[in-house]
Amino acid sequence: MLSKTNIELKLEQLRNKRISEEAILDEVAQIFSEIEAKRNIIKQTLKQESLKKQNTFNFDKLESNRIYHISDIQKLCVDYRLRFLDSRFFKGTIPEEAVSKIRQLENEHDTSLKNFKIIAPAKLLKLENADDPLLFAPMGNDYFYLIHKWGNDLHPLRKVLMWPYKTLENLVITVFLVSLLLTAITPINLFSTGPTTQEYLLLFLFMFKWVGGMVLFYGFAKGKNFNTAIWNSKYYNA
């Protein structure tokens, strides 16, 4: 009676005829060594400044939904108070998945990518933290290709909370509204038996000066600036 064929055993026999087990291990080790060397080169590139301002891509292999213009990036950074800087300023750890995607892109497009950019909150460019960084490679003509996103999503209220820092006009409006609210909730009857419109106006002006003074003191003391001025600045107190 004929025995059943074990295809795994047959495959092993065919392989052993072609090459020895020792040679296989050496070959696999060499392949992994070459892969690791390429990954290390990519990691070093992410940490270094590059004179290469754009990368060469095969446009037939690009995903159109990953291509962004600098104007879109600027608006996002201004709205959410984020920075768009060279990846070398990022102090966190670039995930291995991002390195793998870079290597995959380089193989697909037969190129070596340089001058990576990252969108992240300013604190991520100073501290080891993780809140939604985006890794880009420049394509030229103010277009950037999104390579990888990692970390946690931003807080849903971040855009609202960062609105006052967007421009000087936004800050003045915020100070005005906060002063108005403080005036409304202040029990002025404790200071006057019959408060008049003039007294309310004086109280509002006092609140406006007090809130405005606190904001200016905090801004100067911390070296803060508006979103429109810092979105692509590498300086902490820009």
Is residue 7 domain-resident? Answer: no
Model confidence, pTM:
0.59
**Strands lying side by side in the sheet with 134-140:** 67-69, 143-149, 134-140, 117-120, 83-86
Q: Does residue 199 share a domain with residue 122?
A: no
What does the alpha-carbon distance between residue 117 and residue 147 come to, in Å, rounded to a whole number?
A: 10
Is residue 179 domain-resident? Answer: yes
Which of 124, 154, 184 finishes a domain? 154
Is residue 40 domain-resident? Answer: yes
Amino acid at 197: T
Q: Does residue 143 share a domain with residue 45?
A: yes
Q: Give the residue numbers spanning the domain of 73.
A: 15-154
Q: What element of type H or E holds 237?
A: none
Q: Does residue 193 share a domain with residue 176?
A: yes
Per residue of the chain (238 residues), give pLDDT as tens: 667 777 777 787 777 777 666 666 667 777 777 778 888 889 888 888 877 788 889 888 888 899 999 999 988 888 888 888 888 888 778 888 999 999 999 999 998 899 899 888 877 665 344 456 889 889 888 888 899 888 766 667 777 777 777 887 888 888 889 888 888 888 877 666 767 778 888 888 888 888 888 887 776 666 576 767 676 666 554 5
Q: Does residue 147 share a domain with residue 184?
A: no
